[in-house]
A and B are shown apart, each in its own frame.
Chain A
């Protein structure tokens, strides 16, 4: 599944980042890396943008970008 499919409050592990190098390096620089875990903190109206927390950093990203992050949902 991909990040954009998650709902507020979901936790997940990042499996893969399917992005071209600009986006990937940008994500990497924020600590979004294969193997890291994240939590969805919230979504804006119509889920155009979403907020995630990773290693204490809060990040906002667009739906387009969230679609490129493959994740595995963690069950609490």
Chain B
């Protein structure tokens, strides 16, 4: 069976993914491009040529959409590298038939690569609805490559495309051609002629070589520079360039050629496209009149967001509870099978609990990503950037940063993943770094506990709101500071297409959701499993057998239930104190002392690195109340009030607001940011900020209280 490797290239929003979805009998593989967080979609199609009875395996790699071959964003870089250096047989260039001219610009650039190519005129049904007629035969002649009309939604042209791929792959070499203006063609001919005269040996055709020289392609120069022919060639090329400069009045060769590409694309369009009527885009226009209305646009957006988060966190909570319960049950049964010993504890408290905490987020992630995919594929997301960019840009963020940031109030895990919608690396990193400032749902119990203990229940809601608001404001300030002093590279120019509104197919959205969920489970799952085992180990070891024995006898000897419970709690406290985790807490007391924390609070914060929910239960254990405590436990409140002075409590809240998110989130952060070093930066950054602000809060409160 012959294998043909095809790269799928095209501008964003041309329906590449829908096209992939429309191909039946395909096996899909979702993953990442090596070393970057750019989604990679690959599929294998088996194709049987009916005439020759030859079987083919078509391996398709879907490249990220790009408007032109540049390398500003990570995705554009991936596409450009893959096209220039990748190992493939041919390019399938997907073109949006309703935006022919703009799409042909990229086609022109692709043609210049000199590879075998097939052009797909996608969304032809939509074009027809808009009254656009395209003569694909004429276009084939102009471009020198086959052009095929397709529609993913109507499943038109899929078979023809497959046939054409096979046919083109069997050609000896590419027949693609870009024709330039006469004055450039003249210079090309002159250089070509020179190569012919010298019978120069080259893997590229003389024409390609001449064009590359005129375009000042570095690689070509490097290669020819070391050859004897260079001495004469140099003069000819210099002269040719002078002619171009003289003719265009510009000394920028890139500009000269991009004018050429544009002229070529426009010329091609003029020749092959005709407009029967002007029924175009009324639909998009009408919706936009409402959705990006100067005054109504933003409230409508907030409404959509509100619905999305209601769905995410209320509907998501139903399976979450179920998953939680079933994993608890699984843990219990594991313990009953394996016994209460080391193995049972490792499996139940370490592994099952750890994996459970990963899977628990899955409903959230799926619902949220369903919503985000819907917003993106309909074309609404770019309207959001359009409306909010003015505000967010002041803080160095992007209009699209809004969604990950708001998601952060629910849970940081999906929030970090949602930052993928930001295509520019700097925007994404900046957003990732400040998501933690948006207090997540798991921090709520801590706030409720401390507010209840120190400020009373009467104004709890107001205090809570103040905490969340302060976090958000601090986050924006942090963004500005990071933007000014850390990520102070060039701004990406904000020039963005607002795609037409389109109803996406369910299958396409499902693909996105499925892909994201799978990659979350796979990557985060393995890391979190390892990490939760580590935390389990640190909080259970070294074993204190004697301590446990002495308590066991004490518990047996004691008469009433109450005493037994107290003794049990005391044992838990002692075990935690003596564990590696406890030792770390005590060893790090000096670090937290200036903030007013005792070692118990320090340990609670450190266990909070595993999961924020644990902070409350750790405090419960350390204040000898057992680990069944929750934020509403009145005895824990009293204990806290008795042992912790008010300034230390405030400083504790401030620290919790800012410091490193939980383990699951940290793992996802490292993955989304693109490396462990970023997690280290985040750790240093959040810890420093948390420490400094807590220190300030502690001392200011001390002054106010007068203690």
Binding site for B on A (CB under 8 A): 19, 21-34, 41-46, 48-49, 51, 55-62, 64-65
Contacts and interface: CB of A to CB of B under 8 A. Distances in A.
A31 B68 contact: no
B292 A23 contact: no
A58 B393 CA distance: 21
Contact of A30 (B67, B98, B259, B494): B67
B294 A25 contact: no
Interface of B: 67-68, 70, 72, 98-99, 101-102, 105-106, 252, 254-255, 258-259, 261-262, 280-281, 284, 288, 292, 294, 297-298, 382, 385-387, 389-391, 393, 399, 490, 493-500
Given A60-B495, A65-B494, A49 B389 contact: yes
B312 to A, nearest CB: 27
B432 to A, nearest CB: 22
Given A45-B294, A56-B281, A60-B385, A30 B393 contact: no
Contacts of A23: 493, 495
Given A44-B386, A44-B389, A49-B386, A30 B102 contact: yes
Contacts of A21: 252, 254-255
A53 to B, nearest CB: 9
Given A42-B292, A60-B495, A61-B494, A29 B99 contact: no
B72 A26 contact: yes
Contacts of A45: 294, 298, 387, 390
B393 A42 contact: no
A19 B387 CA distance: 24
Contacts of A43: 294
24 contacts: A19-B493, A22-B72, A25-B68, A26-B68, A28-B105, A30-B497, A41-B288, A42-B292, A43-B294, A44-B297, A44-B389, A49-B386, A49-B494, A51-B292, A55-B99, A56-B99, A56-B102, A57-B99, A58-B497, A59-B498, A60-B495, A60-B497, A61-B495, A62-B494
Contacts of A61: 493-496
A40 B101 CA distance: 20
Where chain B touches its partner, the secondary structure class is helix
A59 B262 contact: no
Given A24-B255, A33-B259, A55-B102, A62 B70 contact: no
Contacts of B382: 60
B647 to A, nearest CB: 42
A21 to B, nearest CB: 6
Contacts of B294: 42-45
Contact of B101 (A26, A28, A55): A55
Nearest to A62: B494
Contact of A46 (B258, B281, B390): B390
B390 A49 contact: yes
A59 B495 contact: yes
Contact of A25 (B70, B497, B499): B70
Contacts of A26: 67-68, 70, 72, 493, 495
A25 B254 contact: yes
B493 to A, nearest CB: 4
Contacts of A49: 386-387, 389-390, 399, 494
B250 to A, nearest CB: 11
Contacts of A48: 389-391, 393
A31 B105 CA distance: 8
B386 A60 contact: yes
A24 to B, nearest CB: 7
> Which 10 pairs across A and B sit closest by C-beta, in order of nearness?
A48-B390, A29-B68, A58-B498, A29-B67, A62-B494, A23-B493, A60-B386, A31-B102, A60-B496, A28-B258
Contacts of A44: 292, 294, 297, 386-387, 389-390
Given A44-B294, A58-B498, A62-B494, A28 B385 contact: no
A33 B495 contact: no
Contact of B280 (A56, A64, A65): A56
Nearest to B391: A48
Contacts of A27: 493, 495
Given A25-B258, A58-B500, A59-B495, 13 more contacts: A19-B493, A23-B493, A23-B495, A25-B68, A26-B493, A29-B68, A31-B101, A57-B99, A57-B102, A60-B385, A60-B389, A60-B494, A61-B495
A33 B262 contact: yes
A62 B105 contact: no
Contacts of B281: 56
Contacts of A59: 495-498
B288 to A, nearest CB: 7
Contacts of B258: 24-25, 28
Given A51-B386, A55-B101, A60-B498, A29 B106 contact: yes
Given A44-B387, A48-B393, A56-B281, A22 B262 contact: no
B1 to A, nearest CB: 39
Contacts of B67: 26, 29-30
Contacts of B255: 21, 24
